[in-house]
Structure 1
Amino acid sequence: MSHVRGTMLYASPAPETDRERLIRENDLVVVVEGFNAAVAQRIRIGETFVSRHGRFPHAALVGVAFGTKIRASDGRGFVHVCAPTPELWTKVLAHRTQILYAPDIALVSAEMELRPGSTVLESGTGSGSLTHALARCVAPTGKVWTFEFNETRVKAAEEEFRANGIDEVTTVTHRDIERDGFPEELASTADAVFLDLPGPQKCVASVARSLRPNGVLCTFSPCIEQVHKTIVEMKKHGFADIKTVELLGRHYDVEGRCLQTDLSAPLSKETKGGWRKDQKRPRDGATEDSASTLTETVVAHPQQRLQSHTAYLTFARLIPAPENWTETLAERAKTSESGNEEVLKRAAEFLAKRRGTKKRYRPQSDAPKQPSKHVISNPDDYSD
């Protein structure tokens, strides 16, 4: 894969003389302000990036290596300037629709078995979060055909793909896949298909025509009812190895805390804050008894606020039909019909024979049942 400067498609490894990539004018830069704060900037001489950390003129970034820590011109703070990747782009892109995030994107790319040279069909394009990751997987010789029914989003995606340097391997088209299906010229050309649509079950027949044998279909559906309808259609059109996955991330806070071990000891000024993570160390004059009731330990607990359900990912593989499979199915249908007639005939004969046989019943006696001799009638008559 060739090394493309200023885009999201990278070589592995880069040439020895180009290991330290330098920022140039018109390059896309991801400015990282903190762990959960990042902004995309297109470097243009004369412009300035302004944030709560200070002012950062674009001219000062030209010639600086990606990943460098940059101080503000007014000395207020600093940021890191990072090279764009599909993962970072997912964090900073403009949301035109709901997007896929890194955990779902990673599983989709792995399960669809993408590699350089693969051909992928995607519908719909949306904000282009997944499209950038697909382009990196199939570049430089593969192709991503992505379709979107909203014309405004198509134009915005075209501009972004061109600016981010993935337009050579990505083509976005204005088309309603639910209504019109995938184009006929793409029949039997795709290695994988991804559907992010309200009604993916409407497109399964078109997907089956577009996939190569052993190709993989993936659908992204928020509701389990959509999953059920889609699986029914998958089984009708020759898909097998069907599975549905839901990714639920669980984040943990791990920190050191001072905990009181002797619960019988009175709560002193030092022990009252034992459960606070910002607990201060006791003063030098603290009593030895109070210090002995505290112990330092590591506490881990899941975060109370976290992102849970996003959608259900359903994967299926198109199994090629065996040779002369149509004729085999027709023959089986004839055999089944003749077999059913024979079974119905035998059942009718059995019922006729059974109706001619009188069922005998034993007469029931009206006499009361006698108690068993092995049961104790009066337990009080016996003792240990």
Structure 2
Amino acid sequence: MWSTAREIAEGDLVIVWMTRDLVQPLAISSGKELNTRFGVYRHAELIGVPYGSKIGSRNGKGFIHLLRPTPELWTLALPHRTQILYLADIAFITSWLDIKPGSHVIEAGTGSGSFSHSTARTVGPTGHLWSYEFHEARANKAREEFSSHGMDEIVTLTHRNVCKEGFTVVDTVDSVFLDLPAPWDAVEHAKKALRKDRATRICCFSPCMEQVQRTIIALNDAGFTEITMYETLIRPHQVDVTPPLPTVSTIGNQLKEMEARREAKRLRQIANSRSRGDKRKREETEDSAEDQSAEKRHADEVDGSGKRHVEQTP
């Protein structure tokens, strides 16, 4: 689908990885520059660099990684023309539709092409994907991307309203995937496109329960069996490395250190308490001595009759 060479060449499509949330496609063309907040990069200087390389910027502001395109990376980097399917949904649908090398598959609608790229890689050159898109501008853009990515022999893209006009193949495909606003209108057409000589499968991708209910009614009326519904959710988990358990000697030393700190704290408290008691006793002794001195001075000033004695100088 994409270049399989070891090194980047003129005209190659590369995936520029800047951060986990900032990934973009880049078509290499001499004379152009990639200007980002992580620095400036000349396309000419990227030619001949091996895929997977880490490249520093010319102005020293940062670096980027140049990766070989894969359907997974393309899903993260592609320009969104519609809401797209992400890896969890694509993997689940591919598994339950039993899509494998050599399979013949119908997809409607094409949208931004995330499911198309994954399916094209899965079916390989021995299989085929018929993709249908009712919006002409999106169909033309997707056709241009498929051609530049080397998918012309694997994917046939048709601008067509399959809910009204049906599909272009009959009794041909192993599975049908419908990503449409009203998939129930395309169920009868899908039944005609599915092979009659073996068990086949159909998947309808809908975000609302009301759509699911109408689709189930249409599938039952068309004679489909073993109808099931699934909800695919991604629940991230934080994974940390568990530190090794400490040894018995380490724990013993920690307990001894804790006991020594407690004993030191107890001795400080006792010393502080004694210091405060001695200070209080000294203050009480000084206060008592001052009181006694004052009483003595008062007694000297008063005679035995209780009258104050005043000396007169002749």
1:218 to 189, 203, 224: 203
- Corresponding residue of 2:32: 47
- Corresponding residue of 2:61: 76
- Corresponding residue of 1:270: none
Match for 1:198: what amino acid?
P
1:91 to 66, 76, 80: 76
1:201 to 184, 192, 208: 184
1:316-355, aligned counterparts within 5 Å?
A: none
Provide the C-alpha distance between the structure 2 equivalents of 1:206 and 1:223, rounded to a whole number of angstroms.
Answer: 22
User: CA shift at 1:218, angstroms?
Assistant: 0.6
Larger Rg: 2
What 5-or-longer segments of structure 1 have no aligned partner? 11-17, 258-286, 290-384
Q: Percent identity?
A: 44
Provide the C-alpha distance between the structure 2 equivalents of 1:288 and 1:143, rounded to a whole number of angstroms.
Answer: 76
Q: Comparing both structures, which one devotes a greater share of its residues to helix?
A: 2
What 5-or-longer segments of structure 2 have no aligned partner? 243-259, 263-314
Provide the C-alpha distance between the structure 2 equivalents of 1:28 and 1:253, rounded to a whole number of angstroms.
Answer: 34
Provide the C-alpha distance between the structure 2 equivalents of 1:255 and 1:119, rounded to a whole number of angstroms.
Answer: 43
- Corresponding residue of 2:161: 176
1:236 to 221, 232, 236: 221
- Corresponding residue of 2:245: none
Q: Comparing both structures, which one devotes a greater share of its residues to strand?
A: 1
Match for 1:207: what amino acid?
A
Contact preservation (8 Å) 2:39, 2:59 = yes
- Corresponding residue of 2:16: 31
Q: 1:38-74 CA deviation, whole Å, 9 max, x = no partner?
A: 1110001111111111111111111111111111112
Q: 1:107-140 CA deviation, whole Å, 9 max, x = no partner?
A: 1111111112111111111111111111111111
Provide the C-alpha distance between the structure 1 equivalents of 2:235 and 2:38, rounded to a whole number of angstroms.
Answer: 31
- SS of 2:227's equivalent? strand
Match for 1:29: what amino acid?
V
Match for 1:142: what amino acid?
G
User: CA shift at 1:181, angstroms?
Assistant: 1.4
**Runs of 4+ in structure 1 displaced over 3 angstroms?**
253-257
1:283-362, aligned counterparts within 5 Å?
A: none
- SS of 1:246's equivalent? coil
Provide the C-alpha distance between the structure 2 equivalents of 1:204 and 1:167, rounded to a whole number of angstroms.
Answer: 27
2:87 to 102, 106, 110: 102
Contact preservation (8 Å) 2:2, 2:69 = no
Provide the C-alpha distance between the structure 1 equivalents of 2:80 and 2:172, rounded to a whole number of angstroms.
Answer: 31
Match for 1:100: what amino acid?
L
Provide the C-alpha distance between the structure 2 equivalents of 1:128 and 1:5, rounded to a whole number of angstroms.
Answer: 15
